[in-house]
Amino acid sequence: MSPPDTVRLGGGEVRGLRLDGHLSFRGIPYAAPPVGERRWRAPAPVAPWSGVRDATTPGPDAPQPTRSFAHVTSTDEDCLTLDVTVPDTPTTGRPVLVWLHGGGGTNGTATRDAGRLATTGDVVVVTPRFRLGVLACFGHPGLADGGTFGLQDQQAALRWVRREIARFGGDPANVTLAGESHGALVVAAHLVAPASAGLFHRAILQSAFAVLAPTPAHTLIPGVPALPPMWTPADELDRLGATTAAEHGWTAPGDDPHAALARLRRLPVADLLQASDAFIRPAFGGHVLPESPATALPAGRFHRVPVLLGATCDEARFFVAVFADLVGNPVTARDYPRLLAEAFGDAADEVAARYPLTRFATAGLAWARVCTDRAWAWPTWQLGRVLAAHTDTWCYEFADPDAPPPVPLPGLPPGAQHAAELAYQFDLPGGPPLSAAQRGFAERVNRYWTAFAAHGDPAHPDLPDWPGLRTGHVQSLAPDRIGGADYAADHRLDFWARLP
C-alpha cells in the first residue's frame, strides 16, 4: 500500500505527484506572500484555501538577478513556498532533513529532485524557498528587523515543519537543518538565533565561508577586496541601506524614515535587484540575531546539536574559473605576485615560497590552491574545532577529482570544486550526469548524511568508520577511497595558523 498523494494540512489539502519510488509535493506555501506592504516584514501566516491545491509544480524562485553561474531569473516576490519529498512507502516517524540552498546570498533555487536522497536514507526532505539579497538582508533607519528577513523566512519554514511534517510521515522531533555555501552560512546563524532553538536537532554545513574571521582580498572571488566575517551590525546596515537608497534615487532628500520606507516598498523589485550584491550579510544586534555568530560560536553560546561540516577539496577552482577565466581575465604568472601581495601583504613572499608557480601547471591552479587552503580549508578547520569543543562534530572533505562541474568552466580542470557535491545529493535540473561509479559513490555519501539525520552520528554499518573531529579525523570522500585524510598537511593548516 502506498501513502496517499493528497495530504490535508492546516491551511487546506494539497495534491502531489507520484514519481519513481517517492512522492513530491511542490510549491506549498508556508507563509503569506511578502509583497506590497509586507515587503521587509516578518513572514505572516498563510491564508487557508478551499478545495485541493495543486502541489505538482514548483513555486516561484525568490527574486534574483541573472548570473553566469546561476540560470535562474525571477522577479516574483510571492516566493515563500517549500517542496516536500517522501519515500513511496507508508510509515511514520521518518527523520526530516530541511535543506537551505546556496547561491551567494543573492541567487539560488530549491527546485531540485531530492528523490535519491529521500529514498536512499528513508528520510523526508524539505526544500524551502526564502527571500534573498536586498529583500532578505536590507536595512534602513526605521525598518524593524533589518537584515534578518531571510532568517525569519527559514524559521517560519521550520515552524511549518514542526506543525505539518507528521502528515507526510516525518518526525517533527528529529529535524536536521542542512545547507551549502551561503545556505551553510545561515545554518550557522540558526545555531545562534534564539528563536531557532528547538526547531532543529542536528546541523549540516557544507562549504560555509567567512563564518568566524575575515577573508583576505581576492581569495573568495578574484577582484573582491578583503571581507569581514559575513555578519553586519544592524546600525551599520541601516546606514548602508539609507546611503544605497539615496544613491539610486529611490528616496528623496529630507524624507523621514517612514516616508522613505513607503517609497521603497512601492519600487519595482527589478530596480531593487540592482543593489542585491550589497545585501548578503545577515545583521546582528536585534532580537532575531542578537549576537554575531563570529563571537557567539567560539564562546559556546549556541544550540548544542550534533554538527557535520566540511568542504570540497578544490573549492576555489569554481571561483577562479567563473570570475577570472570566464570573463576573459585569467590569472597569469605576472598577476600571481600582485595577488599575493594584495592578499597577504608582508607575508606574500612566504606564501609564494609555500605555493611556488613551478609546482602547478598554470598560475590559475596555483592561485586556486592558495585560495582553497586559506579561504575554505582553514576556516572550515577553525569552525569545526570551535564547534567540537562544545558538541559532537564530524568533518569531511569531498574529494572526487573527476566531479562534473556545476557549470561549464574554461581554463581549469574542475576537480572537486565548490558545489560539486550537489550533483551527488540531488538530481539537478539540467545538471551534469554521473558515471555508474559516481552514482554508487553518491549512494554511500547519502547514506552517511541520512544516518546523521536519523541518529546524530554518520556511522553506518555498511560504510567505513567515521571518527569525530575531536580525534582530529577528517573523512575523505571519493569514489575510490573513503577514509581519513591528512587534512592539516594537505592544506598546510599549520602554516596558515601562523599568519594573521
State yes or no: is 181 an active-site residue: yes
Using the 8-state DSSP alphabet, how is residue 203 labeled?
E
Indicate which residue of 181, 207, 276, 292 is catalytic.
181
Long-range contact pairs involving 470-476 (C-beta distance under 8 Å, separation at least 24): 470/388, 470/393, 473/395, 474/310, 474/395, 474/396, 474/397, 475/310, 475/394, 475/395, 475/396, 475/397, 476/396, 476/397, 476/399
Place of cell 535562474: 72
State yes or no: is 315 an active-site residue: yes
The cell numbers describing 357, all together, are 608557480
Indicate which residue of 22, 182, 418, 460 is catalytic.
418
Q: Cβ distance 388 to 469 under 8 Å?
A: yes
DSSP state letters, 48-92: P--SEEE-SSPPPPPPB--BTTB---B------EEEEEEESS--S
Indicate which residue of 77, 164, 180, 315 is catalytic.
315
- Return the closest-CA partner of residue 16 out of 105, 99, 118, 95: 118
Using the 8-state DSSP alphabet, how is residue 113 labeled?
B
The C-alpha angle 112, 171, 50, rounded to 5 degrees, equals: 70
Q: Cβ distance 127 to 58 under 8 Å?
A: no
How many Cβ atoms sit within 10 Å of the Cβ of residue 167? 15
Residue 170 has, within 13 A of its CA and on its CB side, a CA count of: 29
How many Cβ atoms sit within 10 Å of the Cβ of residue 437? 12
Kindly give the pairing relationship between strand 52-54 and strand 481-484: unpaired
Place of cell 536522497: 117
The cell numbers describing 453, all together, are 539525520
Using the 8-state DSSP alphabet, how is residue 360 labeled?
S
- Rg of the chain (C-alpha set): 22
The cell numbers describing 101, all together, are 540552498
State yes or no: is 247 an active-site residue: no
How many Cβ atoms sit within 10 Å of the Cβ of residue 221? 20
Place of cell 574559473: 321
C-alpha span between 77 and 95 (Å, rounded): 31
C-alpha span between 500 and 463 (Å, rounded): 39
C-alpha span between 491 and 475 (Å, rounded): 14
Using the 8-state DSSP alphabet, how is residue 412 labeled?
S
Sheet-wide strand order for 6-9:
6-9, 12-15, 52-54
Q: Provide the annotated active-site residues.
A: 181, 315, 418
